Amino acid sequence: MKTYKVFTVNPGSTSTKIAVFDGEKKVYSANVSHDSKVLEEYKTLEDQLAYRKATIESLLKENHIDLEGLDACVGRGGGLLAMDGGTYEIDDLVLEHSIHAKNGVVHPACLGPSIAREFAEQYGAKAYVVNPPDVDELQDLARMTGIKGVYRNVHLHALNLKETAIRHARNMGKKYEECNFVVCHIGGGISVSAHQKGKMIDGFDIVGGEGPMAPTRCGSVAVSDVLKYCEDKEIKTVKQLCTKNGGFVNHMGISDALELTKCAADGDKYAGLLWDTMIYQIAKCIGSMAVVLEGSVDGILLGGGMVYNEDLVAKLKGYCEWIAPISAYPGEFEMEAMASGAERVLDGEEEVKKYTGECRFQGFDFIK
Ligand SMILES: Nc1ncnc2c1ncn2[C@@H]1O[C@H](COP(=O)(O)OP(=O)(O)OP(=O)(O)O)[C@@H](O)[C@H]1O
Ligand SMILES: CCCC(=O)O
């Protein structure tokens, strides 16, 4: 069987993770640090592009990593309009929408497609984006709200959620498309989602303030409480609670969950209550996703950095293991997920998709 050489690029706020795969084997990986002072000088994401790429190139050169013979380059995406899951060719429309965050969610990951395509052009390789956070496969029932004209959509860690589900299904001797899972990513942000036969049919908009509280995110709060809180604040400040300074940051000025658990272990009751509340809220979200799957759940899968914490896993088992077996996959498979997504299409196992540039959900034609 042919193995493919794939280069993966995952830009974060102050660094860019890169990896080179030869088939399933990760032959090189690095977390390329960028000088935050230099990054701050750039007004837009697009302005950072040349600097980030040059930093990556220098590191590759220093480490004698040759990308000659590359089959594909994959960039973590973002900023795209709601789409089905899968592997997408990076064409001009993907570039245009991601770099300008067409969906309004500006994140360094939006740079991924541009960096990947530049490397791909240089080495005559294909360029792809795999399951970006813009994947939204909600079933119709999950769309409606009690406000006419307001529909639900999701932003989730789709890349790691789907890869965790694909791997778990494989471990069970099955295909992702044959199983039903509740899949969670419990890291800096927390995604909880219901996967039915290969589609992520429900979940929470973790960029919009839905779901459990997370280290830097407020999670779901009653509308009336938010309105009251807003009375003497700017909307912008309140929006930041959803992704930047809600959760542990808002309460205790701590964004690192490990630090919070240390405070709790040292007897800080406030930290202990926050930690337990976050776990309680994750459990409630898992329960609701199990209901979405009508109790037909083949497994509850936990990924993300916080899953290294045994107390968190034990407590979630206490709350939820009566629903289905819980499996922990601490950390994430994002780089592997990008490489496997490319391999599946290069191998013909899956068809490469074309980004339409139109939201997957356009409203219901029977509601005027
Ligand atoms: N043993 C542990 N106990 C508690 N928290 C931990 C432990 N190990 C790692 N973490 C926490 O996991 C978080 C990082 O998780 P992860 O690496 O998945 O996040 P990220 O990549 O920064 O963000 P995201 O997952 O939203 O993309 C940090 O808050 C870190 O403190
Ligand atoms: C939506 C997933 C990416 C993030 O907001 O952290």
Q: Is residue 358 part of a domain?
A: no
Q: How far is the CA of 101 from the centre of ligand 2 (A)?
A: 13
Q: Is residue 365 part of a domain?
A: no
What ranges in 18-111 are assigned the alpha helix state H? 36-41, 45-62, 92-99
Of all ligands present, the nearest one to the C-alpha of 257 is 1
Q: What is the mean pLDDT of residues 42-58?
A: 94
CB of 156 sitting under 6 A from ligand 2? yes
Q: Is residue 67 part of a domain?
A: yes
Residue 41 has pLDDT above 90, yes or no: yes
Distance CA 110, CA 88 (A): 14
Mutate to test the pocket of ligand 1, among 107, 131, 258, 309 (most ligand atoms within 8 A of CB): 258
Residues whose CB falls within 8 Å of the CB of residue 310, separated by 6 or more in sequence, listed in order: none
- 41 and 164, same domain (yes or no): no
- 286 and 224, same domain (yes or no): yes
- 192 and 321, same domain (yes or no): yes
Q: Is residue 98 part of a domain?
A: yes
User: What atom of ligand 2 comes closest to residue 158's alpha carbon?
Assistant: 2
Distance CA 329, CA 208 (A): 26
CB of 167 sitting under 6 A from ligand 2? no
Q: Is residue 342 part of a domain?
A: yes
Q: What is the mean pLDDT of residues 336-343?
A: 98
Q: What is the mean pLDDT of residues 35-43?
A: 89
Kindly report the CATH number assigned to the domain that includes residue 341.
Answer: 3.30.420.40
- 162 and 275, same domain (yes or no): yes
Residue 318 has pLDDT above 90, yes or no: yes
Q: Is residue 128 part of a domain?
A: yes
User: pLDDT above 90 covers what percent of the chain?
Assistant: 94
Name the band, by pLDDT with cuts 50, 70 and 90, for residue 36.
confident
Residue 359 has pLDDT above 80, yes or no: yes
User: pLDDT above 70 covers what percent of the chain?
Assistant: 100
Place of tokens 């060719």: 89
> Six-digit token pair at 35?
């000088």
CB of 189 sitting under 6 A from ligand 2? yes
Q: How far is the CA of 216 from the centre of ligand 2 (A)?
A: 11
Residue 14 has pLDDT above 90, yes or no: no
Distance CA 198, CA 161 (A): 11
Q: Is residue 58 part of a domain?
A: yes
End-to-end CA distance of the chain: give it in Å, rounded: 53
Residue 138 has pLDDT above 90, yes or no: yes
Domain extent at residue 55: 5-132+335-346
Per-residue model confidence as pLDDT tens digits over 54-74 = 999 999 999 999 999 999 999
- 291 and 177, same domain (yes or no): yes
Residue 166 has pLDDT above 80, yes or no: yes
The residue type at 108: P
CB of 191 sitting under 6 A from ligand 1? no
- 175 and 28, same domain (yes or no): no
Number of domains forming the structure of the chain: 2
- 263 and 342, same domain (yes or no): no
Mutate to test the pocket of ligand 1, among 306, 309, 310, 315 (most ligand atoms within 8 A of CB): 306
Return the CA Rg of the chain.
20
- 60 and 72, same domain (yes or no): yes
State the average pLDDT for the chain: 96
**Is residue 88 classed exposed, middle or buried when 0-12, 13-18 and 19+ CB atoms within 10 A define those classes?**
buried
Of all ligands present, the nearest one to the C-alpha of 215 is 1
Question: Which helix or strand (DSSP H or E) is residue 190 part of?
Answer: strand 190-196
CB of 185 sitting under 6 A from ligand 2? no
- 12 and 78, same domain (yes or no): yes
- 109 and 165, same domain (yes or no): no
- 116 and 19, same domain (yes or no): yes
Distance CA 252, CA 280 (A): 19
Farthest CA pair distance, the chain: 63
Q: Is residue 97 part of a domain?
A: yes
CB of 206 sitting under 6 A from ligand 2? yes
CB of 157 sitting under 6 A from ligand 2? yes
Q: What letter would DSSP give residue 351?
A: P
Write the residue with the smallest CA distance to atom 3 of ligand 2.
157
- 285 and 342, same domain (yes or no): no
